[in-house]
Chain A
Amino acid sequence: MTAGVGDSLAMDSTQAARPGFRQRYGGTIEYIVIPAGALIGALAMFGVFVALFGKNPLDLYWYMYQGAFGTWFSWQNTLTKAAPLILTALCTALPAQLGMVIIGGEGALLIGALSATSAALLLQSAPPLVVQLAMVLAGVAGGGLWIMLAGGLRHYRGVNETIASLLLVYIALAILNHLVEGVMRDPASLNKPSSREIGAVNMIGSIPGTDVHWGFVFGVIAAIASYVLIYHTVFGFAARVAGGNVRAAKIVGLGVGKLIMITCFLAGGAAGLAGMVEVAAVQGRTNANLAAGYGFTGILVAFLARHNPLAIIPVAILLGGISASGGLLQRRLGLPDASVLVLQGMIFVAVLASDALYGRIGFLKGKS
């Protein structure tokens, strides 16, 4: 589906004219054009899909734009939805530097939310700022340890980290359900078992002048910090060496186990922070509503951004926009709420299939 984009750009006649440009920027352009082409291809496929159900695809794109970026209201909605996506995407992108495929961000989010809520409930009489700080620390620690478990199992026991992290999602959900129906249960929550509320004073609120909560700022800071860590520190360099070739990393004396544990802790910590934000800025309590699929969409964001923490920010905004437009699509076009899931699935499939195109499009051929 991306072939059309590639063909129009494959102008080999220009090859002799500007070799320097292509060698310098070809790789970077490739990393932008190919995923963008896959995205457009997936949107086109989705248009055909809804057309089969008798809806006008042009209306679809218009309402998607309106619902995602059309008004200041929808922008705020989009950024709010993007906040947890940035953080859960880091949960997949950071271990990816070490060649690990971690898909358990949803589990780390739930455990982070649980730990943050527990911290708030234990410190009820403390000043709000102390409670909020404790929630951040607890959320990061809870989520971090959860993914560190998957990383440790991988390194020390040889358990496949993809499957282990996915199993941990279901285990995390069971723990959450167990606790909110047991020791943490608010007796007032009858139909939907929930924990006690963390209290309005302890909520982290919105960025002044907007309805976007502080989670978005947390996400942007975490993404920039991850970028600096990976590309501008010795630690990040070591991680990328180990990701490229474990044997080479061991020969030069890198502590691969330590790298894996720290990276997985940071990754899980990011997703745990997403859980903390969902509790402290949106829900105000822990219950099964938190398992809203942010962890799984985060995987898609990470892959679409090719595991680059800076690229994660715009991609998360884009996908946050798609999910923010879901409500409008439902109201105006009568599409089921699952249509956003279908589109996400199509994007994911198209992006992965487009991996085969790297280095094959004449004009874009870079160093990679």
Chain B
Amino acid sequence: MRIRIGSALAFMVLSSFAVAADNPDARTIAQRVNDREDGKDSYAKVDMLLTDRSGVTQSRSMISATKDYGKLSKSYIRFSAPASIEDTSFLSWEVEGKDDEQFLFLPELGRDRRIVSSQKDSDFVNTDFTYEDMQKRNVDKDTHKILREEKVGEYDCWVLESVPIDPKSSQYKRWVAWIPKGIYLPLRVEFYTRILRQPTKILTTRRLKKVDGIWTAIEAEMKNYERNTMTLLRTIEIKYNQGLPDRMFSRAYLKRNR
């Protein structure tokens, strides 16, 4: 399973699809999104609301922590509700240019387990986010094009289209992101899995806030138009640069105090 929740919650950040201030070209905008300041570490409490095609909703709560060690980045997630998945924990160690190492603790088994990096088009714990959505993507794997400039709410945005150079490197044929100038955090991303005019999924940042000097998506939704399902993410609390201890990202911590 690929549980890359970098920079608070990477699926809220989607750092590879983005933009900035002056008059940059498309690749520069994408690179600036990728390099966006997201702190040396982060700790967040997040609520998740899943709505299925018949309108039935399900809520989940989790804590997410990340820490950067240069080329190595570690992340930790623990579900705190509902009771059916409480204390289920994930640990991911991501080294640039190498396969991730991932571990899962299942409280009902009382064991931690080394797990396989999931297929990128698999859903992340039954949400509308796939593992690919949660990973950083090298800017040079795609060609980028500024389609136009457009205003979204109070934000002036670039509308940036990205297309994978190697079609096999992504589940998407292309994606289009609305990047507010100077913020570099996508307000809206349309994902196209087929050569169609209609996107399969749309990510919308509903609420944006500066926390500890870092732009953060406080509320975001991913709507899957193919399945008619939706996942809403709400950041309840987030802290950056807290000097999180290394032990929090160790395998011993994964099963401790459960």
The answer to whether A and B belong to the same complex is: no
Interface residues of A (CB under 8 A from B): none
